[in-house]
Structure formats: structure tokens, C-alpha cells
């Protein structure tokens, strides 16, 4: 049971890391048609994430792999109950990846506009649908004792799920604007700061509304009431977004991005800790929920994959730290090739 609990929090951490790393890519892609009024600006925006976006998606594969290896029943139920939104997310990410790689292979305004549209859709849709999916997981999915989804997938598009989707989009937009401020200068950097300051009140409002709705529409606060010290966790995203605003006001780009990352981690773990020990709560009956008690792999499997993770995760982290350090500087004209 201790191994299952360890993997539960590693599972949550891997999702949080994915949202931090690929979140700014999704944010920049969503901002593309609004800040990129000409081809030169759009090329510069795409170049800021060009060397990193595909490496960032490794964390999505890792989070999915951990779900499959450590909690196979959750993996099977998730791809059944959330089949349509998850497939739309995957199609969106594929569309974005193809557009990023092939945009500069054909010198045509029509081709570039098509690719830019694909980048936008492949960024906005996954950001929104990740929020909808996780909000519904926090709220509870209508699954029966066999893990079968009951009802139409349109039930996922409920007010709480929509607010979760909006929250994810706004947090990723802030994260993307902060990254643009790190990697660009001149007019685009000024636009990035202005975008951050314009969207910040909306993001803060969405965060507070999401927490308030979580109190009335979910069981997330049961664990918090049982252990009041856990109420420090919901304060983390609020503190993060406030610190991000202070850092943005001082024009400290890296500090703004780090505070934005803290906001994303805090928002993720607010839900993860709230649903513990469940991974896939059932909104039909609590005993139908998939948890670390009934959905985890055997202790031997958990022990083996924990050993593998302890060996390889530091390697992946070291590579990403090296990559981010390598591309921490402002863009030069030679970097803009898209």
C-alpha cells in the first residue's frame, strides 16, 4: 500500500511537470493569432519553443506510461470513459507537431496560414480539454462497478468542467506569455508583458472561482477538512499567481515564469491531494471509484518500475535542465527559422 501511495503522488507529479513544461508551448500556440500579426512575429514566437516542445511532451508519454504500468485499471477506464476528449487531445497534439515541423518547408502564405491555424487549434483544444478532463476527474466520473462509463460524454461538458478548461487555458496563456518575455526582446517582449498583465486578473478570478466551485460541487475538501494543515495546499496556486504578478511588474521574466509554474503545480496538487486515495472517483457510488486499493499493480510490479524510475527520471530531468539552460538566452536572427 505504501508503494501504491508513492506511485499515486509520482503520477500526480508527472502530470504537473507536463503541464509546466508543455503548458507554455500550448499557451504560445494559443496566443499565435493574437500576437503574431505578421509572418516575422509568428516565426519568432514559434522559434521560442522550437527546440523544446517535443522534449516537453516526453512528460505526457511518461505520465501515460506510469498510469498504464502502476494503475492499469485506471488506464483502461480512463481511455474508455474519456475516450472522445482524450482522442481530441491526441489529434490536436499531432496536428500541432506536424504544423510546427512542416511550416517552413513550403514558401507559401496560404500554407503558413494553414499551419498557423493548426498550431492554434492543436494548442487551444488540448489546453481546454485537459482542464475539462481533470476537472471531471476531481468532480467524479459516472462509472459503474465494472468501470463502464454511464451516459453521454456530453455530461463532461458541465459548468465545473468548463471552468476547469477555462482555468487551464488562462494559466497556460500566462505561462506562455512569461516564456515569450524570457526569449524575446523589443516589440514582441513588450506585447508579451502586456498580454500577461491583461490576462492576469482573469486567471486569478478563474482560479478563485474554481476553488469555490470545488467546495460546493466536489468532495475535494474532505481530505482537507480531515487534516486542516492541508489547507496550505490551495494557498500555493494563489500565492504563485500573486508572486507572478509582482515579478511581472518588476519585469523579472524568469521569476515570473517560475511563479507561474508554481501556480500550475499548486493547482494540480490541489486536486490530486483532494481525491486521494482515489485516482478515478465515481460519481455514481463511492465504492465504484478506482483507487490505490483496487487499481494498483502488484507490489512486485510497483517495486520494479520504481527502481526503473529512480534510474531514468534523473537522466531525463538532467537532460531537460541542460536543454533549458542552453536555450535560456534571447533569440537571435539565426534562431528564427520557421
143 SS3 class: strand
For the cut 80, the answer to whether the pLDDT of residue 130 exceeds it is: yes
Q: How many CB atoms lie within 10 A of CB 128?
A: 25
Q: Across 219-260, where does the E strand assignment appear? A: none
pLDDT for res 149: 87
Kindly state the average pLDDT of the residues 230-237: 94
pLDDT tens, position by position, 81-103? 888 889 999 999 999 999 998 98
Per-residue b or e along 284-303, where b marks 16 or more CB atoms closer than 10 Å to that residue's CB? beeebbbbbebbbbeeeebe
| Distances in whole angstroms, Cα of residue 326 to Cα of each of 20, 312, 321 | 18, 21, 8
| Distances in whole angstroms, Cα of residue 40 to Cα of each of 25, 26, 27, 47, 325 | 18, 20, 19, 11, 25
pLDDT for res 55: 84
Q: Using pLDDT thresholds of 50, 70 and 90, give the confidence band for residue 176.
A: very high
For the cut 90, the answer to whether the pLDDT of residue 224 exceeds it is: yes
Q: Using pLDDT thresholds of 50, 70 and 90, give the confidence band for residue 301.
A: very high
* Greater pLDDT, 106 or 296: 296
Q: Using pLDDT thresholds of 50, 70 and 90, give the confidence band for residue 60.
A: very high
Kindly state the average pLDDT of the residues 173-201: 96
For the cut 70, the answer to whether the pLDDT of residue 1 exceeds it is: no
pLDDT for res 214: 95
39-49 and 187-217 helices cross at what angle (nearest 10)? 60
Angle, CA of 195, 199 and 205, to the nearest 5°: 170
Kindly state the average pLDDT of the residues 165-190: 96
Kindly state the average pLDDT of the residues 139-160: 87
Kindly state the average pLDDT of the residues 40-56: 88
For the cut 70, the answer to whether the pLDDT of residue 337 exceeds it is: no
| Arithmetic mean of pLDDT over the chain | 92
For the cut 70, the answer to whether the pLDDT of residue 220 exceeds it is: yes
Q: Which residue is listed with cell 522534449?
A: 55
pLDDT for res 121: 96
Cell of 149: 462509463
Listed in sequence order, the DSSP H helices in 57-107 are 58-70, 72-81, 83-102
This prediction has a pTM of 0.94
pLDDT for res 329: 84
Q: Using pLDDT thresholds of 50, 70 and 90, give the confidence band for residue 171.
A: very high
pLDDT tens, position by position, 320-330? 889 888 888 88
For the cut 60, the answer to whether the pLDDT of residue 338 exceeds it is: no
| Rounded Cα gap, residues 71 and 262, in angstroms | 27
pLDDT for res 250: 96
How much of the chain exceeds pLDDT 70, in percent? 98
Cell of 122: 492543436
Kindly state the average pLDDT of the residues 148-173: 91
How much of the chain exceeds pLDDT 90, in percent? 76
Q: Which residue is listed with cell 511518461?
A: 62
Amino acid at each position: 500500500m505504501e508503494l501504491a501511495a508513492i506511485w499515486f503522488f509520482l503520477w500526480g507529479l508527472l502530470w504537473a511537470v507536463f503541464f509546466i513544461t508543455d503548458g507554455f508551448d500550448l499557451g504560445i500556440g494559443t496566443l499565435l493569432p493574437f500576437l503574431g500579426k505578421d509572418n516575422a512575429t509568428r516565426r519568432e514566437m514559434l522559434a521560442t519553443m522550437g527546440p523544446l516542445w517535443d522534449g516537453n511532451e516526453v512528460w505526457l508519454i511518461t505520465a501515460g506510461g506510469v498510469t498504464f504500468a502502476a494503475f492499469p485499471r485506471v488506464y483502461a477506464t480512463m481511455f474508455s470513459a474519456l475516450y472522445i476528449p482524450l482522442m481530441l487531445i491526441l489529434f490536436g497534439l499531432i496536428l500541432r507537431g506536424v504544423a510546427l515541423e512542416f511550416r517552413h518547408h513550403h514558401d507559401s502564405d496560404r500554407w503558413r496560414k494553414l499551419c498557423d491555424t493548426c498550431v492554434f487549434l492543436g494548442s487551444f483544444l488540448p489546453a481546454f480539454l485537459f482542464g475539462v478532463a481533470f476537472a471531471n476527474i476531481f468532480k467524479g466520473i459516472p462509472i459503474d462497478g465494472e468501470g463502464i462509463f454511464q451516459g453521454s460524454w456530453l455530461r463532461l461538458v458541465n459548468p465545473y468542467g468548463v471552468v476547469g478548461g477555462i482555468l487551464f487555458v488562462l494559466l497556460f496563456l500566462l505561462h506562455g506569455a512569461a516564456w515569450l518575455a524570457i526569449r524575446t526582446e523589443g516589440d514582441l517582449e513588450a506585447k508579451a508583458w502586456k498580454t500577461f498583465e491583461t490576462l492576469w486578473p482573469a486567471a486569478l478570478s478563474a482560479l478563485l472561482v474554481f476553488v469555490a466551485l470545488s467546495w460546493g460541487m466536489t468532495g475535494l475538501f474532505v481530505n482537507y477538512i480531515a487534516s486542516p494543515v492541508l489547507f496550505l495546499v490551495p494557498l500555493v496556486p494563489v500565492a504563485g499567481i500573486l508572486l507572478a504578478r509582482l515579478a511581472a511588474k518588476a519585469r523579472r521574466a524568469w521569476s515570473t515564469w517560475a511563479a507561474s509554474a508554481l501556480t500550475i503545480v499548486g493547482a494540480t496538487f490541489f486536486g490530486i491531494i483532494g481525491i486521494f486515495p482515489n485516482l478515478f472517483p465515481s460519481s455514481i457510488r463511492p465504492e465504484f471509484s478506482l483507487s490505490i486499493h483496487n487499481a494498483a499493480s502488484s507490489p512486485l510490479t510497483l517495486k520494479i518500475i520504481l527502481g526503473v524510475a529512480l534510474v531514468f527520471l534523473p537522466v531525463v530531468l538532467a537532460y531537460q535542465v541542460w536543454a533549458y539552460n542552453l536555450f535560456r538566452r534571447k533569440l537571435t536572427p539565426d534562431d528564427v527559422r520557421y
